[in-house]
A and B are shown apart, each in its own frame.
Chain A
Amino acid sequence: MELADLIYKTILVICVFGLALFVAMYSTYAERKIAAFLQDRVGPNRAGPFGILQPLADGVKMFMKEEVIPGVSNKWLFILGPSLAMLTACMTGVVIPWAPDFISESGKRYNFYITDVNIGILYLLGVVSIGVYGIMIGGWASNNKYSLLGALRASSQMISYEIAMGLSIIALVMTTGTLSVNEIANQQLGLWGWNFWSQPLGFLIFLICAFAETNRAPFDLPECESELVGGYHTEYSSMKLGFYLFAEYINMFISSAVMATLYFGGYNFPIIYNYISDPLWISIVGFLVMMAKVSFFIFLFMWVRWTLPRFRYDQLMHLGWKVLIPLSIINIVATGIWMYASGKIH
């Protein structure tokens, strides 16, 4: 790799990292605003115009809070927990293509993904499954029954839903014929090229699993305050708590991006290429289209959170094991039959 490429990639890494943090930061604001609007309230509106400085104020508050590490906890693991949660949350964004490739006049190709590994989807699933360790270690190291129960719930929930998630992606991989996220995004040209149309059930399963994986309502049992105080982060305070909460929002952003890329064409949008010819503008508009799709999914996450009540734990397990996994297997079989019937495989 040349030095110029190295610098370009470094800048890109910093940009994606910054983007993830920025979006997560403003997701907290958006969450509070949307919660307020859905409940006929106004929401935070004191810090800055319309309260847009609220995330900064929250961050400052988090840093100023007293940091408590329980004496009976395992200190090393106690610190490792939120760090791991944050680390895995930030790692998943690596394979996502954020904008169409830009080819400069000198013929140099700039691509807007950090890396395009040919097993991109496997990498995604792999990193997501490490995410459970952050919660598990944090909950266990707290040496507190609520934390432990929360961590137990989180880990079993995440592991259960990972299976259905993986199976729903298998059907997608069958139709696309590739594991590279960038290629999947490239394939979905035009509105009818979106994978959603060929995999509606797969998308639905993936969506439900994404809610469960990010521990969002209606699957937010790990931090179910009426039963478990704070769940796995009961003992956490100050910025370590902030890391856990922040990791959840980054996860939400990344899974929105994954959903947009895998099922809704990523940066592709039907009409724009008819009107724009300048490659730079195609990249910029493509990025904006991608962000619009991501924003919609983030909104969907919040919308669902303020609509649905929380599941009971046995209902959660029932849904995961007895409904979603059989459904996703049926989906795979149906996809296979459909592909055979339409002559895509022989």
Chain B
Amino acid sequence: MQSLTNRSKVVVKKEMSLWERLYLPAIFSGMMITVKHLFKKKATVKYPEVKREFAPIYRGQHVLKRDEHGAERCTACGLCAVACPAEAITMVAAERKPGEEKLYREEKYAAVYEINMLRCIFCGDCEEACPKEAIFLTDRIVPTDYDRKKMVYGKDILVEPVNQRVDVSKRQTKEVLEFKKHKEYAHNQ
């Protein structure tokens, strides 16, 4: 029969010689292989003490950014919620009252902003959809919990504290900012 690919091989089932049927040489060489591994470098990373470096584009726990004066950037436009393929984001918008200018950047803000971390697939579409540079995915790992309710993160967890800013400069490179200007590139449009 003509072979379709040139990769076929003729298989022969040879009778084993007495030396091979003894099995002991084969066992011995196998044991030599395993004992070599005894002295090899271990592949394990001892996790909590040693942490591997994340890729620069790692997508972990979200952060809601504040602007340079410490006011929240999010205007509760809802584009992130629309973009979210897992429907993990919900929000309730509210109007800014006079005197709250230092808290919220624009007249409208998110009174409630919740991400269900059990639904989130960390695709980063929310970040891409955001017109206000308010939401970013960071290199922080979302911790596990025994309680489903605790996995719905509210603003208390998501908004960055004023004195502990979260660095997202790695995700705001020039290319990214340029890309975000051209909404027609985004795959969800």
* A interface residues, Cβ below 8 angstroms from B: 34, 37-42, 45, 204, 303-304, 306-308
Closest beta carbon of chain A to B36's beta carbon, Å = 9
**CB pair B44 A41 closer than 8 Å:** yes
Measured CB to CB, the residues of B under 8 A from A are 24, 27, 30-31, 33-35, 37-38, 40-44, 46
Given contacts A303-B31, A304-B31, A307-B30, contact A38 B46 (CB under 8 A): no
**Number of CB contacts from chain A to chain B under 8 A:** 36
Is B37 a contact partner of A308 (Cβ separation < 8 A)? no
Residues A306 and B43 in contact, CB atoms below 8 Å apart: no
18 contacts between A and B (CB under 8 A): A37-B38, A37-B42, A38-B34, A38-B38, A40-B37, A40-B40, A40-B41, A40-B42, A40-B44, A41-B42, A41-B43, A45-B46, A204-B24, A303-B31, A304-B27, A304-B31, A307-B27, A308-B30
Beta-carbon contact of A42 and B30 below 8 Å = no
Q: How far is the CA of A45 from the CA of B44 in the complex (A)?
A: 12
B46:A306 contact, CB within 8 angstroms: no
Contacts of B37 in A (CB 8 A): 37-40
Residues of B within 8 A of A42 (CB): 42, 44, 46
User: How far, in whole Å, are A37 and B43 apart by their CA atoms in the complex?
Assistant: 10
Give the chain A neighbours of B40 by CB distance below 8 A: 40
Could you tell me if A308 and B27 are in contact, using CB atoms closer than 8 angstroms? yes
Closest residue on chain B to residue A303 by CB atoms: B31
A192 to B40, CA, bound (A): 35
Per the bound structure, the CA–CA distance linking A304 and B40 in Å amounts to 18
* A41 contact set on B, CB distance < 8 A: 42-44
Closest chain A residue to B33 by CB distance? A307
CB < 8 Å neighbour of A303 from B34, B43, B44, B46:
B34
Chain B residues within an 8 Å CB radius of A34: 38
Q: Which residue of A lies closest to B31 (CB)?
A: A307
